[in-house]
Chains A and B, each alone.
Chain A
Amino acid sequence: MSTQSNPLEQFYYDNKAVRNFAIATIIWGIVGMLVGVIIATQLFEPAANFTQYGSFGRIRPLHTNAVIFAFVGNAIFAGVYYSLQRLLKARMFSNFLTEFHFWGWQAIIVAAAITLPLGITTSHEYAELEWPIDIAITLVWVAFGINMFGTILRRRERHLYVAIWFYIATFVTVAVLHLTNSMQLPISIFKSYYVYAGVQDALVQWWYGHNAVAFFLTTPFLGLMYYFLPKMANRPVYSYRLSILHFWALIFIYIWAGPHHLLYSSLPDWAQSLGVVFSIMLIAPSWGGMINGLLTLRGAWDQVRENTILKFMVVGITTYGMATFEGPMLSLKNINAIAHFTDWIVAHVHVGALGWNGFLTFAILYWMIPRIFQTKLYSEKLVKTHFWIATIGIAFYAIPMYISGFTQGMMWKQFTAEGNLQYGNFLDTTLQVIPMHQMRAFGGTLYLIGAILMAVNLFKTMAQGTLLANEPAEAPALLTIDEIAPEAHWHRWIEKRPIQLLVASLIMILIGSLVELVPTFMVKSNVPTIAAVKPYSALELEGRDIYIREGCVSCHSQLVRPFRSETERYGEFSKSGEFVYDHPFLWGSKRTGPDLHREGGKYPNSWHYHHMREPSSMSPGSIMPAYDWLFEQSLNTSMTEKKLSAMKTLGVPYEESQIKNAVRDLNQQAKEIQMQMAGEQIKIGADKEIIALIAYLQRLGTDINKKQ
């Protein structure tokens, strides 16, 4: 280590940005949780689906996007802007980029809040926003990256603390994930098709989905944990070595685990197995992180007893440990066979989200706000109340969901002594878990009330203090690399060189990604084609787009797994070759309603007609929302031709004549359905949206039965 040093320099930390992101976190958090409570209510009280703009399928993505990208996203930025400046002893690189980042991110959130209820969605989970918003996200993310790296390059502390590595890995990986999973061919400003189809689309989506959990909900929060926990407890992290091992192992292993979302699907076996193996290995780094966090508090448990902020941290880190133990267990094929598509997954996600992300966010806000406002918390007591109400809320949320998930998993598979399905009517399994869903909504409401208490407390705190917008600090400028002793150790070398660190983490995540994705893409024979599988007709394609718009995929899967319990209930299991024209795939991840892959021909058109208008008329007690607007709105066919021709560009073998005559063919098929239903005393215009949806539902999964 060198003893030389430069004279002290004066500079100012930007606390205004921290304040802005913190306020956005609080407000969006409450909005997102409120929408969560609404959709939870809709699952036992379908009357809570107000109009098409508030129906479950459309606002469920609003909830997920709001809590992930608005609440957690802003929390990450608030924490990163606070800790990065202080760890680097430098102000954020550019005031302009900071403002651009903040307002750009909020504008994206507003755009999401407008487009999702309108049914403008790509249907990829956690990536629903349409392509113009995707581009905006890219721009804002790049601005964040430049701002962060600019700060790193102008730092006054040579060594990059491990928290910053986590931030860097977050930045790079999210960029790669977002770009890869946003490859869409635009049809219009509000509509696009993914370039990938079927199995490949599914693989890309879950490689993305899983790693969004890893690199948006996990790595940035681990970085925050490594900074804020030592600060809060006023003691250094338990083991710096462990934190390094934790970092490299986590980013290296996480990226491989995506296929565990697709077990027993038509994804090739080897990719599934790879996903399982790496998921199991993930326990090690995840628990390494948890243990490092908890042991940081060794000998300080008396502090924890008195300090509610630390209590939030302890519970948060513990739930992280629980969720990261459960995750690998859920990747085991035999457990997955029961848990997948059930409420178990919802429970798993929320233990992580409410416990880990929520509690860490609360703790960090409670810790930061009084400091940048140079005051103390308005009410310690309210913090305590928040802690208890939120903890009880999590219990009320998670326990019923575990019971519900387990019940569903078991009931779906239960056979009678004679070898028939015990609960052949899917609805029985839905009705069985309704009390659990009511309790879950209660738990969610408690958690929301806690967040509102926090909002009151923090806004009062802000009001009683004054923001130190520019906090003075001083530190000597960095000596250049030549000035310090050249004791070269490779890791210290990397600790000093942010760009190399970026490249190294990029390589780490690319290895896993490529091994997973490339063979599936390169080898054509990977998806055996089935000659009988033909592209959708124009009407069916429009019907499919309505299915996407209404978010049916959030309650219905389209993937029959190769179990007897499923083939008995739904029909022949799904083959990868059946999805080759599906841009995007619509396998879904949750069965609130039954699988629909073999829906075609199961019921007459009239059944669907009545069911879509009033589900409980056909299935008494059904919790599926009614879709009355589909009976009033006329199908917009102005894009039909363009849609077919876009599909052709993506490799769907439409003939030129099919494209040219798309609207004519569409009208003809619609007429046929109309006439057929007229025979059953149903009067409906052939131009109504419902006709297209029925055409699509009747087509689903029927191709393999066709004679050549």
Chain B
Amino acid sequence: MFKQFISVIPGADIFMISSLCIFMAFFVLVGLYLLWMDPIHTVKMQHLPLENNDFEPKI
């Protein structure tokens, strides 16, 4: 039989481990940011789409 299924590639672990680290670090940052976000700013951002007065058809 041929050696068909390779479960380990030499050098691939570094990709896995570093990606895990990047992943964790990134979500910790986003998480912290969300915790500290200024509520006034949030409200302003939320209302951005509602600022324009489109033509309102009378239904």
A residues adjacent to B (C-beta < 8 A): 83, 86-87, 89, 157, 159, 161-163, 226-227, 230-231, 234-237, 240-241, 244-245, 248-249, 252, 266, 268-270, 274, 370-372, 374-377, 380, 468, 473, 489-492, 495, 508, 511-512, 514-515, 518-519, 522-523, 525-526, 528, 530, 575-577
Contacts and interface: CB of A to CB of B under 8 A. Distances in A.
B48 A511 contact: no
Contacts of A514: 15
A158 to B, nearest CB: 10
B33 to A, nearest CB: 5
Interface of B: 2-12, 15-16, 18-19, 22-23, 26-27, 30-31, 33-34, 37-38, 41-50, 52, 54-59
B12 A519 contact: yes
Contacts of A575: 2, 4
Contacts of A523: 9-12
A227 B45 CA distance: 12
A489 B29 CA distance: 12
A230 B57 contact: no
Contacts of B46: 230, 236-237, 240
Contacts, number: 125
A268 B5 contact: yes
Nearest to B46: A236
B6 A526 contact: yes
16 contacts: A86-B52, A87-B48, A89-B52, A162-B45, A227-B49, A231-B50, A236-B46, A240-B45, A244-B33, A268-B6, A269-B5, A508-B26, A511-B22, A514-B15, A523-B9, A528-B3
B54 A231 contact: yes
B3 to A, nearest CB: 5
Given A234-B50, A525-B6, A248 B30 contact: yes
Contacts of B50: 230-231, 234-236
A83 B57 contact: no
Contacts of A374: 55, 57
Nearest to B12: A519
Contacts of B41: 492
B5 A252 contact: no
A403 B42 CA distance: 46
Contact of B49 (A231, A491, A530): A231
A163 B18 CA distance: 30
A421 B33 CA distance: 57
B48 A161 contact: yes
Contacts of A237: 46, 49
Contacts of A163: 49
A249 to B, nearest CB: 7
Contacts of A270: 7-9, 12, 16
A368 to B, nearest CB: 9
Contact of B57 (A226, A371, A492, A530): A371
Contacts of A252: 23, 26
B4 to A, nearest CB: 5
Nearest to A236: B46
A530 B26 contact: no
B4 A528 contact: yes
A659 to B, nearest CB: 29
A370 B55 CA distance: 8
B43 to A, nearest CB: 8
Given A270-B12, A380-B59, A371 B54 contact: yes
B33 A490 contact: yes
A370 B57 contact: yes
B34 to A, nearest CB: 5
A528 B1 CA distance: 12
Given A162-B45, A376-B59, A523-B9, A248 B15 contact: no
Contacts of B43: 236, 240
B45 A515 contact: no
Contact of B48 (A157, A491, A522): A157
A375 to B, nearest CB: 6
A87 B49 contact: yes
A519 B19 CA distance: 13
Contact of A515 (B7, B15, B49): B15
A372 B34 CA distance: 37
A489 B7 CA distance: 44
B5 A241 contact: no
A577 to B, nearest CB: 6
B8 to A, nearest CB: 7
A241 B37 CA distance: 8
A157 B52 CA distance: 12
B5 A248 contact: no
Contacts of A86: 49, 52, 54
A284 B9 CA distance: 30
Contacts of B57: 370-371, 374-377
Contact of B19 (A241, A511, A576): A511
A345 B22 CA distance: 32
Given A161-B48, A528-B4, A241 B9 contact: no
B59 A515 contact: no
A468 B57 CA distance: 14
Q: Which 9 A-B pairs have the closest CB atoms?
A: A376-B57, A236-B46, A161-B48, A519-B12, A86-B52, A240-B42, A515-B15, A515-B19, A370-B57
Which of A376, A491, A577 is most buried by chain B, counting CB atoms within 10 A of its CB?
A491
Nearest to B44: A159
A269 B8 CA distance: 8
